[in-house]
Amino acid sequence: MSTTGKSPIDFWFDFSSPYGYLLSEKIDELAARYGRQVRRHPILLGIVFKATGSAPLTLQNAAKATYSLLDFARSARFMGLPYRHPDKFPIATQNAARAYYWLEGQDAALATAFAQSAYRALFVDNIDISAPEAVLTIAANIGVDRGQLEAALQSPEIKERLKNEVDNALKLGVFGSPHVIIDGEAFFGADRLPQIEHWLKTGGF
């Protein structure tokens, strides 16, 4: 909980979600401006899509896939953010998600820094972050002990944590990425940032 007494902003995302990356780059500064903290919940969209009968945008029909690739890059330009669509996409992200949850238990600020680094590695530097080695390198670059994290990625507790987070997301009605809940109100998509800001400013509209 924030020291201001306001509840945190809950933010669900998959590390392979372009719009999740765009929201991630904006949400912390926005939350801070309104006295809120951000509580990140990396999840696995593969499981969410299986449960909800959906599919990644680029693997749906050809017209939607073509448009989505255009819109990822244009939305990034519109938001003033760098974007380079990864050569390998979508990718498996359980290692990045597990690393996040382990780090969160150690140091919340470091976990946030890791989430941002992992997203930028994938969507700016075209680095495939699916393998444990890639995740370990990103974490080591921000000061995380590589050996400790490597062990944590295999720990039953961390695997269970990720599983529980996905289950809980589904229970809360999360059906894609990014999905934000503020004081019980759901917002889906990076394009809902203006509505999120208006909500934070007005206390609901």
Q: Site residues (CB under 8 A) for a copy of itself? A: 52-54, 60-61, 63-64, 66-67, 70-71, 74-75, 77-78, 170, 173-176, 186, 188-189, 191-192, 194-195, 198, 205
Nearer to a copy of itself, 77 or 146 (CB): 77
The string of DSSP letters for 77-129 reads HHTT------SS-S---HHHHHHHHHHHHH-HHHHHHHHHHHHHHHHTS----
Cα 196 from Cα 178, distance rounded (Å): 12
Smallest separation (angstroms) from a copy of itself to the CB of 143: 37
Smallest separation (angstroms) from a copy of itself to the CB of 54: 7
Six-digit token pair at 65? 């896939």
Nearer to a copy of itself, 166 or 174 (CB): 174
In the chain, what is the straight-line distance between the N-terminal and C-terminal CA atoms, in Å? 23
Nearer to a copy of itself, 127 or 186 (CB): 186
Nearer to a copy of itself, 38 or 190 (CB): 190
